[in-house]
Amino acid sequence: MSGVRLEVDTHIITASATNLKNIDKVLNDLGVRNMGYIFSGVAAADSVLTDTEKDLGVALVDIGGGKIDICIFVEGALSYSSSIPIGARHISNDIAVGLRVSLDSAEKVKLYLSNHIQQVEEAIKKKEKNFLNSVKFNIPEKLPDATLREIIDGIIGPRIEEIYTYIKEEIIKSEFEKHIPSGLVITGGGALTIGMVEQGKRIVRLPIRVGLPERASGLVDEIMNPMYASTLGLIYYGNKQMSSENTSNKNFNSILKNFSMNDIISKVKKLFKQFLP
């Protein structure tokens, strides 16, 4: 082929140099050599989106503890990305304030309700008054006389609504609103919050599914959780980079196959124990 002009559309992601230096410092202190950076939203997208979704157009929304990463794919290509400084921890904060309990206890209440959605819905339908009292949240405080509805519609709901208002604003800002028929794929631990999918569908008026890192087949069930989407994405990315840079790293795939979360957790525990008196 011959031509007179060569063009390329690029998408540039920037980050604060101070933040990147901090990441390097942590890794150096652990004796780990950093080989590169990747935006965590892109990493999460890599582990949960299908090629069809990316081709049709989709928005990946990674709802973490303190921030939400958004990546919009149109015609298979990453076309917009951004990060919103609000996350699922803000929902726990609101529960702590609303119920006058510690943050730890609020987190337990949120996780319990989110992990027992069916029971909660049934209790609400049957107007069960004792559901909250009969549940063992395993928290030191006594809960005030709040009803399930008050917690879900009065505390969690408004925060989820706020979260989606910001997400919607970003999608409108991207000008790809009409180009994402696959809708939103939400991931990150926050995606599991009770009401997150249903409320989102109502607010953004697009299909929404929870994205699991499903490419991690063969791995233990514990990491088949949206919470690990970006972490697994980082591992895939590292694997890809390493195998293209250095063929002596072929063993990486077998490490990935034998990858056990328990091992990692116990290693991290051991590491922290070293610092304890």
Ligand X SMILES: Nc1ncnc2c1ncn2[C@@H]1O[C@H](COP(=O)(O)OP(=O)(O)O)[C@@H](O)[C@H]1O
114 forms part of the interface with ligand X (CB under 6 A): yes
174 touches ligand X by CB under 6 A = no
Q: In angstroms, what is the minimal distance from the CB of 144 to Mg ion?
A: 32
CA angle 225-228-232, nearest 5°? 125
Element (H, E) at 117: helix 117-125
Task: Please identify which residue in 20, 21, 26, 65 interacts with ligand X, judged by CB under 6 A.
Answer: 65
Query: Are the beta carbons of 213 and 47 closer than 8 angstroms?
Result: yes
Query: Residue written as tokens 């999460």?
Result: 44
Compute φ and ψ for 265, nearest 5 degrees. Answer: -60, -45
Q: Are strands 184-187 and 208-210 parallel, antiparallel or unpaired?
A: parallel
Q: Using CB positions, name the residue nearest to ligand X.
A: 189
Cβ neighbourhood burial of 83 (10 Å; 0-12, 13-18, 19+): middle
Sketch the per residue contact string, 222 through 241, with ligand X: x for CB under 6 A, - otherwise. -----x--x-----------
Is residue 115 involved in binding ligand X (CB under 6 A)? yes
Q: Tell me: does residue 81 bind ligand X (CB under 6 A).
A: no
- Strands 184-187 vs 58-63: parallel, antiparallel or unpaired: parallel
- Tell the smallest beta-carbon distance from residue 115 to ligand X (Å): 5
Nearest-CA neighbor of 180 among 33, 62, 52? Answer: 52
| Size, binding site for Mg ion by CB under 5 A | 3
Q: Is 76 in the site for ligand X (CB under 6 A)?
A: no
Identify residues 51-90 at the interface with Mg ion (CB under 5 A): 64
Is residue 47 involved in binding Mg ion (CB under 5 A)?
no
Closest distance of CB 191 from ligand X, Å: 8
By a kind-dependent CB cut-off of 5 to 8 A, residue 54 interacts, out of Mg ion, ligand X, none, with none
* Of 103-111, 145-153, 206-214, 255-263: span binding ligand X (CB under 6 A): 103-111
- Give dist(CA 75, CA 106) in Å, integer: 42
Task: Give me the residues that bind ligand X (CB under 6 A), please.
Answer: 64-66, 88-89, 92, 107, 110-111, 114-115, 188-190, 192-193, 227, 230
